[in-house]
Structure 1
């Protein structure tokens, strides 16, 4: 993601997360951390931005900052591709663990993260503001990502 993408990403952010969207200024501030501690990317279909994602990484720990995919593009593998790219970057940066928060009312996103080896480790009550929706805290250790869409028995 580049500065030139902020307008389109912010519009998508407001569409995907209408109750608690990041401002354009917040997105720009995140880009200021690239490449030192941040890694942001966009997904395009037909030259149009339909998804975006961001990772913060420092001190051996990664944090998925955001993943958003336009509603009409969900189910096409874009979220999985964005998450794969973030996890690859976390591995490149030698992160021992990756953490994230996901809305407690977003079961599809939780299933996506579980497919990638994330496990629930906690709950943050009223985390998302102003809606007051709880956040499920999830994490995964390095090297635990399995094939997308498949589960491994016994792991």
Structure 2
């Protein structure tokens, strides 16, 4: 049986400990390499230098997550990870998570948000570019499987 389509407005909030099972399950289903572990997620939930966001709709239905890192002494935040459930893709969940990450970074005084994306992930690159991100560099063999990455940035 297929899950019902996402129809309600997407809501983004800060993740809580009760989200750990959903966060880890989505991480394992989405990424083959470079995954965050349960312990890492748990650490990030209480961190001063990280923020874990979750997107939901229809009364806490978990749809996706974004992880943002902050470094002391800089006004550049880093979108470390973003993932959405397959049935939520193409329905505005990724955009909502990115916009919430940008808002969170602005609230912390950041002036830019940076990220890395697999060079072969055309869908994600297209989304980032539509949202105003531009290419600032590349990393060869950046990911655990040897894939190259593009570095993107958006001024906040």
Same fold per TM (> 0.5)? yes
What is the distance in 2 between the residues matched to 1:24 and 1:136? 27
Q: Secondary structure at the match of 1:133?
A: coil
User: Does 1:132 pair with 2:150?
Assistant: no
Q: Which structure 2 residue ranges, 5 or more long, are not aligned?
A: 1-14
| Superposition map of 1:97-112 within 5 A | 97-112=112-127
| Residue 70 in structure 1 maps to residue 85 in structure 2 | yes
Matched residue of 1:95: which SS?
Answer: coil
Moved more, 38-47 or 132-141: 38-47
Match of 1:41 in 2: 53
2:68 matches 1:55? yes
Figure out how many residues of one structure are paired with residues of the other and give that number. 139
- CA distance in 2 between partners of 1:43 and 1:98 (Å): 19
**TM-score (norm. length: structure 2):** 0.83
The CA RMSD measured in Å over matched residues stands at 1.3
Distance 1:114 1:108 in 2: 10
Aligned to 1:126, the other structure's residue is in SS state coil
Structure 1 residue 45: Cα displacement = 3.2
Gap runs ≥5 in structure 1:
143-155
Alignment of 1:83-94 (within 5 A): 83-94=98-109
Distance 2:79 2:123 in 1: 16
Q: Distance in 1 between matches of 2:152 and 2:45?
A: 24
